[in-house]
């Protein structure tokens, strides 16, 4: 599928700002371009972005309901009440739960954790779980990474004699739970300076607030920034403002491998260089695999244990669950592709089949959307009931779409780019037609062409090892802080081949002065379109690849075309 290349337009003010930053902060042209694009207004903001410190955190007590939440937790501590954390089964929810558990343990308090099983209970608070918790004599429930829509469940907990503190980062509905405290910076009345914290970020802020209120060493809270870093990066929240502070400072602790569980995941995964990429594609998938396969407790126990032998055993179990997840994902993807080919004429893809694992269809939906650049929904049929997960494209609000097509659904939720839903199996075809009709009305042909925005054009004079290394000061990269996409024109193909049985593309490229390596992941099919001595233009991310202790500049390709 052809992609549209667009180059960012720069105003005179932006060009001046780039030059100012380059001189003021003594950084390369590429780094100054990246910094200038972030709309930071003062030198202090830029300095904080580059070098955040523990003073860069916001005041936790400016978050909504933080004061009453901390007062209630301290009362529970004083009265030795039973406290339970109610979390979620993904990497954000598991790290959130582990942050509170570890902090409380360090201050001498034992609390418990309840995480619903993804396969049998689904996401969020549920009535059966609340009743079980009450039967076990708990006085206080603290939710993490969930609860903002748990209005009925919160009322039930109160009826059963329990207090509830909600901490979440998802969008609230028209009403929020009526309880002691609802800490969510996306509340309409929130005055906190930043609204995009992940669930683990909110959990970390609670430990900060407790440390302040109890007048204890702030390092007891800060030591869990490794967990907050992993959860933040894994949840794909924007890595800007306080999320960047959490991720940047937390990455320093992750690299020290103080947490025994994290150390064993890194070993099992064979991770050599710990950065945002290795967290996103190495650590997070292994934690998430446990939840997807219905064994979240293994991931939670791994992040909580201090026993190296136990950690090694648990890390191996994560590795096995991840391999199992990958095998199931491959099968579902293959079957989904076959269906997609038969239904590729429309502007959306709604695919359904029995024996699809509903903990994995979301990942496959992402791949289908990436392959066809159309909104996709995969539905797993389980007898008379069916559950689905969908992903969208830029410009198409998927949550709004299913809201408009909800008459055949029994439940749905999510946001503009990702949704989950359930429906009766007999209604799948009706929903599919209704959704396609809506997509056909809202999506024009231009929306179905993927656009790649180029940050900067480079030439051979920019191919400098030290200047490229300097890009790493912008780490950690991720949502809201992406690696720059560069354009490099008129390169001659010196060598071209495929890797991994034709899956990936590997090239050596030359211009007048330099030779540079390029790799295109999942672009192996393009090898037949080009040959040695062809002149091409490329776009991608420029980085340093270290092999056998030797550093080389490499471009990770996004797209290729014949030189214009």
Distance CA 128, CA 150 (A): 13
CATH code for the structural domain at 454-562: 2.40.50.460
Domain range 57-222, CATH class: alpha beta
Buried b / exposed e across 74-84, counting CB within 10 Å, b at 16+? Answer: eebbeeebebb
Alpha carbon distance 243, 344 (integer Å): 39
pLDDT of residue 5: 94
- Rounded mean pLDDT, 484-502: 94
Are 246 and 228 in contact by the 8 Å Cβ rule? The answer is: yes
DSSP 341-387: HHTTTSSSEEEEEET--TTTHHHHHHHHHHHH-S-EEEEEEETTEEE
pLDDT in tens, 448-491: 988 999 999 999 988 888 889 999 999 999 888 989 999 999 99
Q: Are 553 and 516 in contact (CB under 8 A)?
A: yes
d(CA 39, CA 45): 10
Residue 415 has pLDDT above 80, yes or no: no
Q: Domain 343-448 has what CATH class?
A: alpha beta
Whether 279 contacts 229, CB under 8 Å: yes
Per-residue model confidence as pLDDT tens digits over 513-564: 789 999 999 899 999 999 999 999 999 999 988 888 888 999 999 999 999 8
Query: Where do the structural domains in the chain lie, given as residue ranges?
Result: 57-222, 343-448, 454-562
89-116: average pLDDT: 96
| Rounded-to-10 torsion of CA 33, 36, 42, 43 | 0
As given in the structure block, the two tokens for residue 292 are 């997807």
Contact 422, 386 (CB under 8 A): yes
CA distance 176 to 161: 20
Q: What is the pLDDT of residue 84?
A: 98
Residue 189's DSSP bridge partners are none
Tens of pLDDT, residues 117-145: 988 888 889 999 999 999 999 999 999 99
Torsions phi, psi for 7 (to 5 deg):
-110, 135
Residue range 167-182, pLDDT digits in tens = 999 888 889 999 999 9
Q: What is the pLDDT of residue 2?
A: 74
> Residue 332 to residues 125, 337, 425, 529: CA-CA distances in angstroms?
29, 8, 19, 29
- The answer to pTM > 0.75 is yes
Residue 1 is predicted with a pLDDT of 58
pLDDT value of position 549: 81
pLDDT at residue 414 greater than cutoff 80: no
SS (H, E, C) 421-442: EEEEHHHHHHHHHHHHHHHHHH
Question: What are the pLDDT digits (tens) for 270-324?
Answer: 998 899 999 999 999 999 999 989 999 999 999 999 999 999 999 999 999 999 9
**Percentage with pLDDT > 90 across the chain:** 82
């Amino acid at each position: 599928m052809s992609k549209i290349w667009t180059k960012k337009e720069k105003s005179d003010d932006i060009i001046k700002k780039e030059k100012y930053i380059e001189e003021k902060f003594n950084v390369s042209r590429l780094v100054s371009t990246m910094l200038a694009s972030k709309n930071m207004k003062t030198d202090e903001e830029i300095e904080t972005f580059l070098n955040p410190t523990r003073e860069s955190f916001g005041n936790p007590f400016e978050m909504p309901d933080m004061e009453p939440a901390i007062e209630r937790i301290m009362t529970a501590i004083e009265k030795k009440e039973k406290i339970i954390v109610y979390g979620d089964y993904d990497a954000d929810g598991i790290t959130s739960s582990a942050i509170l558990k570890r902090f409380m343990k360090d201050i001498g308090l034992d609390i418990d954790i309840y995480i619903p099983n993804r396969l049998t209970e689904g996401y969020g608070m549920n009535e059966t779980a609340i009743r079980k918790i009450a039967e076990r004599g708990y006085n206080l429930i603290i939710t993490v990474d969930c609860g903002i829509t748990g209005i009925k469940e919160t009322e039930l907990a109160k009826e059963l004699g329990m207090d509830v503190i909600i901490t979440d980062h998802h969008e609230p509905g028209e009403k929020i739970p009526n309880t002691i405290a609802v800490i969510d910076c996306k509340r309409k009345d929130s005055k906190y300076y930043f609204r995009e914290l992940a669930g683990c970020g909110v959990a970390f802020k609670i430990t900060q607030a407790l440390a302040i209120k109890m007048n204890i060493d702030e390092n007891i809270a800060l030591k869990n920034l490794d967990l907050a870093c992993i959860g933040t990066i894994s949840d794909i929240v924007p890595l800007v403002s306080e999320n960047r502070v959490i991720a940047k400072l937390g990455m320093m602790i992750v690299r020290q491998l103080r947490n025994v569980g994290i150390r064993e995941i890194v070993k099992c995964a064979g991770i050599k260089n710990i950065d945002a990429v290795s967290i996103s594609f190495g650590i997070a998938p292994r934690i998430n695999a446990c939840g997807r396969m219905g064994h979240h407790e293994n991931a939670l126990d791994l992040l909580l244990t201090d026993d190296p032998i136990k950690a090694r055993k648990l890390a191996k179990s994560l590795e096995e669950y991840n391999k199992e997840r990958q095998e199931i994902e491959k099968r579902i993807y293959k079957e989904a592709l076959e269906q997609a080919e038969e239904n590729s004429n429309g502007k959306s893809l709604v695919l359904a089949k029995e024996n699809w694992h509903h903990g994995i269809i979301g990942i496959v939906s992402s791949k289908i959307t990436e392959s066809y650049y159309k909104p996709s929904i995969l539905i797993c049929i389980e007898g008379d009931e069916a559950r689905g997960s969908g992903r969208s494209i830029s410009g198409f609000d998927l949550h709004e779409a299913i809201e408009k097509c909800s008459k055949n659904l029994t439940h749905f939720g999510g946001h503009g780019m990702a949704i989950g839903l359930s429906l009766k199996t007999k209604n799948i075809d009706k929903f599919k037609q209704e959704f396609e009709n809506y997509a056909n009305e809202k999506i024009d042909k231009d929306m179905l062409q993927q656009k790649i925005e180029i940050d900067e054009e480079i030439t051979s004079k920019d191919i400098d090892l030290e200047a490229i290394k300097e890009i790493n000061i912008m780490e950690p990269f991720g949502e809201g802080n992406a690696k720059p996409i560069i354009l490099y024109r008129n390169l001659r193909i010196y060598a071209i081949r495929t890797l991994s049985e034709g899956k990936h593309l590997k090239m050596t490229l030359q211009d007048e002065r330099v030779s540079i390596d390029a790799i295109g992941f999942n672009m192996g099919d393009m090898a037949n379109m080009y040959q040695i001595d062809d002149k091409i233009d490329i776009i991608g991310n420029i980085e340093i690849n270290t092999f056998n202790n030797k550093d080389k500049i490499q471009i990770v390709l996004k797209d290729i075309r014949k030189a214009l």
